[in-house]
Amino acid sequence: MLKMKLLAAGAALAMAAGLGGLATSAQAQAQAPAAATAAKPTPAEARAFIAKAETDLARLSEYVNKAAWVRATYITEDTQWLEAKASSEITDMATRLAIDAARFDGVVLDGVTRRKLDILKRALVAPAPQRPGAADEMATIASRLDSTYSTGKFAYKGKQITLNDAEDILAESRDPEELKAVWEGWRSISPGMRDDYARLVAMSNEGSVALGYKDTGALWRSGYDMDPDAFAAETDRLWKQIEPFYKNLHCYVRARLNEKYGDSVQPRTGPIRADLLGNMWAQQWGNIYPIVAPKSTTPSYSLDKLLVDADYDATKMVKTGEAFYVSMGLAPLPDTFWTRSQIVRPEGREVVCHASAWDLDDADDIRIKMCTKVNAEDFYVVHHELGHNFYQRAYKDQSFIFRGGANDGFHEAIGDFIGLSALTPTYLKQIGLLDEAPGPEGDIPFLLKMALDKIAFMPFGLLVDRWRWEVFSGELTPAQYNDGWWALRTKYQGIVPPGPRPQDAFDPGAKYHVPGNVPYTRYFLAHIYQFQFQRAACKQAGWKGPLHRCSIYGDKVVGARFNAMMEMGQSKPWPEALEAFSGETRTDASAVAEYFKPLNIWLTKQNKGQKCGW
């Protein structure tokens, strides 16, 4: 969507949109009263307005995208200044366009023009107040928050370590004291962000109200072709479909952690200690699979080991991901992708390592930015990020405002859908990493590994924006930010911190998407859409086996229909895009249940006699 286009699209295509949505203009302030008293505009004026808006935005976007890329791949005071200046310029324009677009609200228009006007109005992730200086202040705050996170380090065992170092320790260590120290150490980088973040919230709320929204949370919820409150209710409905399975998984994992660490570290009842789950944010639990693996069955292979034994390096990982999409009939990535992407962490300079996919010129200059490691996690991430790139290229022939995902959840789901095939033993055999795929005896280990990442993520995917909705609405004040964060994490995830949190703690700031100002509900939706896509694609491919073993690698019939949906971009409401590929018009988590059904039955048996819930 347009708010993703205002700056380079990132791992979440709106990595920089959080910066892009941070400006206003004195011109807009001056023009607003005049617009209110002007004669009622005509349909012809609306079409002319849209045509000029698209031309102006397209002209400026490449400059802004490249400024954002340089800052992300070479963080200095100067590149932060350049990015903030570029961000201010384009969002100055975007705010003016959003305000002007509202002038046409009462005009009877054709569907295309009306849709473009609506997208323009909600294009800003964090619109600034309509007064001089707001653009520059917000852009500077946003760049500072993002860079504070990306350059964060803390002292551990006599040296300064990065987030990447800390993540490795959390993934591999089984010493609860070490886990606690590293978990708390990373969160020492975020308390200083709280005042900046609170200022950003206040200013963006002021800007959102000026655009006709109750607050910035309502603005974010308006981007799904339905009323903002109806969208919130829709996410509640979807969570209810998933919650029983999550609680079943939580119950099983907690019991295994109790066996490993004992009651003094992880009690057998109640919430789980967050630092024991193998991930800095306890959003995915796959790293603790060795602790929770089925006792009666051992996996027949390790993807980490397969990659190392096959002499994979970072570039070969990405080449393999590209080959999946090409096998479905899509064109290879352009040569510039390989010369301009950041595939490994460069030495001697600060960069944003958070994996992301970029479209710099709205045509063919597509790139990824990763600090790729040769392991199963990044094997999946590569397939995911390239999904953004192939989606970006598919809709490049749409008019500028329609160059985006059907909704932001779609953009995340495209690569996740391909990733479902990429992790199957079927695919690993197809590309020569496995000689033979394991039989049915491997299903429970495989599904448990998948659930530790996919199902464990879903409540986190939901609650990050639930917290921000409460922040934007004023339900949580800055003094309540941290307590409110942990109240939601306990409510939805059933987790707690490893010890009391300091009075000045700002733990939300230790998750990239908060200081980066990237809306997060998209990931929750993507974790549902990807299974709908998988079910539909496997049916189209004529797959007769279990859904979790289906790989669509090499299927050009599925690829053609898949690409046709991607080519639609944001030109149609998302239910129409969903229908074009899956035949369904409603988001439905029943495909998740179908995929994991054998595991859920198994978990229920394992949990017999346990007191589940928290």
- Give the active site residues: 354-355, 384-385, 388, 412, 513, 523
Distances in whole angstroms, Cα of residue 471 to Cα of each of 130, 225, 360, 467, 578: 21, 23, 32, 6, 32
Distances in whole angstroms, Cα of residue 490 to Cα of each of 271, 323, 509: 7, 41, 18
Q: b or e along 571-587 (b: 16 or more beta carbons within 10 Å of the residue's beta carbon)?
A: bbbbbebbebbbeeeeb
Q: Where are any strands of DSSP class E within 322-429?
A: 356-359, 366-369
Beta-bridge mates of residue 357: 368
Helix or strand holding residue 273 (H, E):
strand 272-273
Would you tell me how many other CB atoms lie within 10 Å of the CB of residue 82? 17
In single-letter form, the type of residue at position 67 comes to A
Cβ-Cβ contacts under 8 Å for 114 (sequence gap 6 or more):
none
CA-based radius of gyration for the chain = 24
Would you report the helix, strand and coil content of the chain in percent, each value rounded to 5? 65, 5, 35
**Is the separation of the CB atoms in 334 and 401 below 8 Å?**
no
**Is the separation of the CB atoms in 162 and 259 below 8 Å?**
no
Distance CA 240, CA 421 (A): 26
Cβ-Cβ contacts under 8 Å for 525 (sequence gap 6 or more):
235, 238, 407, 408, 409, 412, 413, 587
Distance CA 184, CA 192 (A): 15
Distances in whole angstroms, Cα of residue 133 to Cα of each of 26, 136, 614: 8, 6, 48
Three-state helix/strand/coil letters over 554-595: CCHHHHHHHHHHHHCCCCCCHHHHHHHHHCCCCCCCHHHHHH
Three-state helix/strand/coil letters over 491-534: HHHCEECCCCCCCCCCHHHHCCCCCCCCCCHHHHHHHHHHHHHH
DSSP states along 427-466: HHHHTTS-SS---GGGHHHHHHHHHHHHHHHHHHHHHHHH
End-to-end CA distance of the chain: 39
363 three-state secondary structure: coil
Distance CA 75, CA 354 (A): 13
Helix or strand holding residue 52 (H, E):
helix 43-73
Three-state helix/strand/coil letters over 96-111: HHHHHHHHHCCCCCCH
Distance CA 559, CA 387 (A): 12
